[in-house]
Amino acid sequence: MKIGIGLLSILLIIDITASFYFYNLAIERNVKDFLVGNSDLEVSAEAMDVFIDGDWREWVDNQDFEQWEMESYDGLKLQGYYLEAKEPTDKTVVLAHGYLGRARDMGLYGQYYYEELGYNIFTADLRGHGQSEGEYIGFGWHDRLDYLDWIDKVLERTGSDSEIVLHGVSMGAATMLMTSGEDLPENVKAIVADSPYTSVYDMFDYQMGRMFHLPAFPILPSTSLITQMRAGYSLTEASALDQVKKAEVPILYIHGNADTFVPTSMTEELYKNTKSNAEMITFDDAGHGEAFVTQKNRYINKMNAFLNKYID
């Protein structure tokens, strides 16, 4: 009995230690060296050229974005950025970036909405990213409430007749899907979700197996408990899947079939469980978040056809 108790105690200590390790590794705001050299995040040479040296970066630098500041429901100072369209319009795209990104990264998409579609643009640094405060990464869960407040601020700026599109990539896509299950104003007409995950728990489960060759149990449940204590949410409650089951806003799902960082099967599951009108398109040979660059014409043709159904 003493030996059994001793072994259980050792296993418990190992589990707790591993849980704090994974919390610090993935959720706490810090440098994420573990992603350096991750083969699942390797992108094609074509996509890398655009991501790193694309003319959209110069375009962002040359725009006169208004810097907005907002205090979140839990007291964080968050930073947002608004760019009014060249010509007066009632159409605005609200953009959300991915894990470890920042607002300006969405200029890749914002440039198209601004230059080709004539939209106003709003984007923000998610909590724990860029110039926004926060000691943890919310993976979209607390961010969904932040975006509800940002949408209200956009409407204050653009007027009650404004039509809003929500467009996110990766963690930003999950953020928009989590937002979809909330009580959104009727001004939000459509959502574009590029490379989302079903839930934070599912994503961690997948990555633990793929990157560390470890089972989810018992480490993930205890990591979830630590996340609840330190960041105020559990890995299971942070679910885009649960939220889209309540969604009223039409959703376009986009995913690359060559994505090994967030498997396409997650988007398929989201699509099948969406309450609102939904469409899905996949792109062969496209990795994580690559499709807009590597198959841009097909991407924007599908996106425009979808938006034309719901935007006046």
Give residue 63's pLDDT.
Answer: 97
Rounded to whole angstroms, the Cα distance separating 61 from 229 reads 39
Of 222, 275, 286, nearest to 248 by C-alpha is: 275
Give residue 46's pLDDT.
Answer: 78
Give residue 165's pLDDT.
Answer: 98
Instruction: Please report, for residues 18, 21, 24, 39, the alpha-carbon distance to residue 34 in angstroms, rounded to integers and kept in the order given.
Output: 15, 12, 11, 11
Give residue 157's pLDDT.
Answer: 97
Give residue 44's pLDDT.
Answer: 73
pLDDT in 10s for each residue of the chain, 312 residues = 767 666 666 666 777 888 999 999 999 999 877 666 666 566 677 788 888 888 999 999 999 999 999 999 999 999 999 999 999 999 999 999 999 999 999 999 999 999 999 999 999 999 999 999 999 999 999 999 999 999 999 999 999 999 999 999 999 999 999 999 999 999 999 999 999 999 999 999 999 998 888 888 899 999 999 999 999 999 999 999 999 999 999 999 999 999 999 999 999 999 999 999 999 999 999 999 999 999 999 999 999 999 999 998
pTM: 0.94
Superfamily of domain 54-199+238-310: Alpha/Beta hydrolase fold, catalytic domain (3.40.50.1820)
What ranges do the domains of the chain cover?
Answer: 54-199+238-310
Give residue 12's pLDDT.
Answer: 67
